Amino acid sequence: MNSVKIQITAVIILAAILVLPKTDGITYAQSTEDEAMENAEQSISEQQKEIETLKQRIADKNAEIQKIEEEINLYKKQIEETGKETSTLLGAIKKLEATKAKLSGDIRLTENKIQTANLNIERLGLSIEGKIEQINRNIRSLGSAIRKTDELDLTSPVETILANQNLSDGWQDLDNLEKFQASIKIQLDELKLLKRELELNKKESETQKKNLVSLKYQLSDQQKIVNQNKIEKDRLLKETKNKESEYKKILTDRLAQKEQLEREILEFEAELKIDVDISLLPKAVSGVLSWPLSLVKVTQYFGKTLFATSNPQVYNGMGHNGVDFSAAPGTAVKAAEDGVVTDTGDTDKQCYRVSYGKWILLKHTNGLSTLYAHLSLIKVNPGEGILKGDVIGYSGNTGYSTGPHLHFAVFATQAVHVSGPTEYKSKVCKTYMKLPVAPKNGYLNPLSYL
């Protein structure tokens, strides 16, 4: 009997120490045990109704989210289709309009996810309160059990039998005692289960809160990208004066600048003499780097691919120095591995629409460096430490790009550096260019490591 009482007491003390102080200031009125039990049951019932209502609202929000995601997928297809028509002013405007619709869909999607996260946090809060109510109810019940065991401890099993007028009644009392002990065990098990559920609810609530913070940052980013899309459209209309002939002239001039700039960079990089120590590089196997996008569709491969060699006006016949992935503007771009931000930049500030546009260069501990270019928004700063999978920016259409995509390049870290403020001056752009440069042997095939 004493062992049962000790076990009960220990669990009550444990619950009081580990559970009750973490109730965020929740207190309960003192009353008689019967009243407390009745109030607790009523409170739990009301909380359960509220939880069911919230679950339905969450289900409705999830259905709305699915509908918006379907709309966004349609906008992505429109962007891909109009991207093929950017040789005309009308096509370029249609692409910007489709991009605007997609970005607006992104914002609505994120807003709905924020609302869903808030509903989940509210649901979990009610569930936590309900678990605490149940734990308190069990503690009160076990308190009564301790007092009962105190009474039973006053009488030995032999006295219990002899105290009855016949032996059958005495044995019945002992049988009732065993059932009573079994019921106590059930209550103890329930208390332990409630405590585990409470801890899981709290953990999930913290996860939802972190997710909420992330979504709010994402919403702010998306609003910035929408503003950039508007600025881009306004600039296009201003530059072309809404005339097809003006747009054709701009495209021709921009292509000529791009070709000349590439020749200049190739000449500059040809003068860089750096011996790459292959022993410092990881083995070329799949999985060394993770994919920079959640959904992967390669649109241009590394090196002298058919497209590169048959279109010298695009890549100057020297082969593609990275891999291109299809990515609608505003798509989250992730770090391919742990590392440090070597530098970031925007070549459009030095020479508009002829190079990488917004770019990020990361240095990894495995001897590799990765480049992410044509971004719409940069989320990291030079010198900042990052983890694999961190969102470092969003894809876009900056720099020289025939359509929205992510340009991803891999370098031997020992061979690549960012051109200094007075290191390389472009003749065609008449400005100093800031961008990653490396000798030919410093460029590596990304697909050898992804």
**pLDDT average, residue stretch 99-119:** 94
What is the per-residue burial (b if ≥16 Cβ within 10 Å, else e) of 79-101? Answer: bbebbeebeebebbbbbbbbbbb
The answer on pLDDT for 10 being more than 70 is no
Closest CA to 440 of 306, 304, 336, 286: 304
pLDDT-derived band at 175 (thresholds 50, 70, 90) equals low
Q: Which residue has the higher pLDDT, 371 or 179?
A: 371
Give 388's DSSP letter: T
Structure tokens at 356: 């990488």
Model confidence at 74, pLDDT cuts 50, 70, 90, reads very high
- In percent, how much of the chain has pLDDT > 90? 50
Q: What is the mean pLDDT of residues 45-63?
A: 91
pLDDT at 219: 94
Tokens read off for 145: 């059990």
DSSP states of 423-447: T-B-TTT-SB---EE--GGGEE-GG
Which pLDDT tens digit goes with each residue over 27-46? 333 445 556 556 666 766 78
Average pLDDT along the chain: 82
Task: Summarize the confidence of residues 382-387 as an average pLDDT.
Answer: 97
pLDDT at 179: 67
DSSP character for 179? H
> What is the rounded average pLDDT of the residues 304-327?
63
Q: What is the pLDDT of residues 290-311, one digit of tens each?
A: 999 999 999 988 877 554 444 4
Please give the pLDDT value at position 24: 43
pLDDT at 414 exceeding the cut of 50: yes
Q: Are 368 and 281 within 8 A, CB to CB?
A: yes
Most confident of 183-187, 311-315, 320-324: 320-324
- Which neighbouring-strand residues pair with 363? 340, 369
Count how many Cα atoms sit within 13 Å of the Cα of residue 114 in the half-sphere of its side chain.
14
The pLDDT tens digits of the residues spanning 13-30 come to: 444 444 444 444 333 334
User: Which H or E element spans position 34?
Assistant: helix 33-83
With cut-offs at 50, 70 and 90, classify the pLDDT of residue 407.
Answer: very high
In 271-387, alpha helices (H): 306-310, 312-315
Q: Is the pLDDT of residue 270 over 70?
A: yes
Q: Is the pLDDT of residue 85 over 80?
A: no
Report pLDDT for 103.
Answer: 94
Q: Which domains does the chain have, with CATH numbers?
A: 2-227 (no CATH), 243-448 (2.70.70.10)
Q: Is the pTM of this model over 0.85?
A: no
Residue 358, pLDDT score: 97
- In this prediction, residue 209 carries a pLDDT of 92
